[in-house]
């Protein structure tokens, strides 16, 4: 299976998905006008990955800024992971936010209430 590496742009985050280690990272800013193609490609990659996943999968999310459309798509990405978690795959999500960003901190707490899989909210050191 191929890895998924996308460099960040002005309005899209860096994607570092390593199928060899099960370590998945989305980091940066996400405020594209049309979020669907970007995040659906991630969901498709995850579906392919879970045909032969690593014993443990970690998704790290760290946003400097995320708009509501991107957040909805991130919810879909985590929802996809949750499907695999409830059938027995070991998956963890870490939601990172900066100390002064109450909005992103609240989003992390919302995510914990939405899904069965473990989601940790962590303050990112500035």
Can you list the domains of the chain with their CATH numbers?
Answer: 4-123 (3.30.750.24)
Mean pLDDT rounded to a whole number for the chain? 96
pLDDT in tens, 7-23: 999 999 999 999 999 99
pLDDT-derived band at 74, boundaries 50, 70, 90: very high
The pLDDT score that the predictor gives to residue 25 is 99
pLDDT-derived band at 2, boundaries 50, 70, 90: confident
pLDDT-derived band at 1, boundaries 50, 70, 90: confident
Q: What is the mean pLDDT of residues 107-126?
A: 94
Q: What angle do CA 92, 74, 58 make, to 5 degrees?
A: 20
pLDDT at 98 over 90: yes
pLDDT-derived band at 75, boundaries 50, 70, 90: very high
Q: What angle do CA 36, 74, 16 make, to 5 degrees?
A: 90
Q: What is the mean pLDDT of residues 110-126?
A: 94
């Amino acid at each position: 299976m191929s890895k998924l590496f996308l460099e960040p742009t002005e309005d899209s985050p860096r994607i570092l998905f390593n199928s060899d280690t099960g370590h998945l990272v989305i980091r940066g800013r996400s405020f594209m006008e049309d979020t669907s193609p970007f995040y659906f490609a991630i969901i498709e990659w995850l579906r392919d990955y879970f045909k032969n996943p690593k014993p443990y999968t970690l998704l790290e999310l760290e946003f400097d800024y995320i708009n509501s459309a991107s957040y909805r798509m991130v919810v879909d990405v985590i929802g996809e992971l949750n499907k695999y978690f409830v059938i027995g795959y070991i998956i963890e999500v870490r939601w990172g936010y900066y100390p002064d960003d109450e909005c992103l901190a609240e989003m992390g707490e919302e995510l914990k209430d939405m899904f069965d899989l473990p989601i940790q909210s962590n303050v990112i050191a500035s």
